[in-house]
Structure 1
Amino acid sequence: MGIRERKERERERRRQQIIVAAKRVFSEKGFNRSTMEDIAKEAELSPGTLYLYFKNKDELYASLSLRILQYLIIRLEHVNGNHDLNPVQKVDALNEAMFDVYEFDPLIIINMAHLQSSETLKNLSDELLGEIEALSRKSLGAIARIFQEGIDQGVFIDEHPIALADIFWSMFSGVVLWESSKSIINDNKNYLKETLKIAFEIFARGLKKV
Structure 2
Amino acid sequence: MGVAERRRREKEARISLILKHAGRLFSKQGFENTSMEDIARAAEVATGTLYLYFKSKEDLFYSLLTPMFRLNHDGLARTTSDEAEPADATLRRIADLFHESYRAEPDILRILWSYDAARYQTVMSDTNQERMVEAIRQHVRVMERLVERGMAQGRFRPVDSRVTAILIWSMFMGIFQYENNRRHLRGSDHLQETLRASVEFILSSLLSGPDRAGGG
Taking the TM superposition and a 5 Å limit, the aligned residue runs for 1:36-115 are 36-51=36-51, 53-56=54-57, 60-115=60-115
Question: Would you say the 8 A contact 1:62–1:112 is kept in 2?
Answer: no
Shift of the alpha carbon at 1:10?
9.2
Between stretches 162-171 and 18-27, larger displacement belongs to: 18-27
- The aligned counterpart of 2:170 is 170
Between stretches 195-204 and 33-42, larger displacement belongs to: 33-42
Shift in alpha-carbon separation, 1:69–1:110, aligned structure 2, 3 A: same
Shift of the alpha carbon at 1:11?
8.1
Tell me the amino acid that sits aligned with residue 86 of structure 2: N
Shift of the alpha carbon at 1:90?
2.0
Structure 1 unaligned spans of 5+: 1-7
Shift of the alpha carbon at 1:208?
1.3
The question of 1:156 aligning with 2:151 is answered: no
- The aligned counterpart of 1:196 is 195
User: What is the CA–CA distance in structure 1 between the aligned matches of 2:104 and 2:182, rounded to whole Å?
Assistant: 21
Structure 2 unaligned spans of 5+: 1-7, 210-216
Between stretches 176-185 and 166-175, larger displacement belongs to: 176-185
Deviation per residue, 1:98-138 (Å, 9 max, x gap): 22222222222111122236502432123322332232222
Tell me the amino acid that sits aligned with residue 55 of structure 1: S
Shift of the alpha carbon at 1:163?
1.7
Shift of the alpha carbon at 1:149?
0.5
The structure whose RCO (Cα within 8 Å, separation 6+) is larger is: 2
Question: Would you say the 8 A contact 1:69–1:139 is kept in 2?
Answer: no
What secondary structure is seen at the aligned counterpart in 2 of 1:94? helix
User: What is the CA–CA distance in structure 1 between the aligned matches of 2:82 and 2:154, rounded to whole Å?
Assistant: 19
Tell me the amino acid that sits aligned with residue 39 of structure 1: I
Deviation per residue, 1:170-195 (Å, 9 max, x gap): 1011011112112222x312222222
Provide the TM-score with structure 2 as the length reference.
Answer: 0.77
Question: Would you say the 8 A contact 2:99–2:191 is kept in 1?
Answer: no
Between stretches 106-115 and 80-89, larger displacement belongs to: 80-89
Between stretches 196-205 and 119-128, larger displacement belongs to: 119-128
State the aligned residue count: 201
Provide the TM-score with structure 1 as the length reference.
Answer: 0.79
Shift in alpha-carbon separation, 1:140–1:54, aligned structure 2, 3 A: farther
Shift of the alpha carbon at 1:68?
1.9
Question: Would you say the 8 A contact 1:40–1:47 is kept in 2?
Answer: yes
Question: Would you say the 8 A contact 1:155–1:208 is kept in 2?
Answer: yes
Instruction: Please give the root-mean-square deviation of Cα atoms over the aligned residues, in Å.
Output: 2.9
Shift of the alpha carbon at 1:15?
4.9
Shift of the alpha carbon at 1:51?
4.8
Tell me the amino acid that sits aligned with residue 120 of structure 1: Y
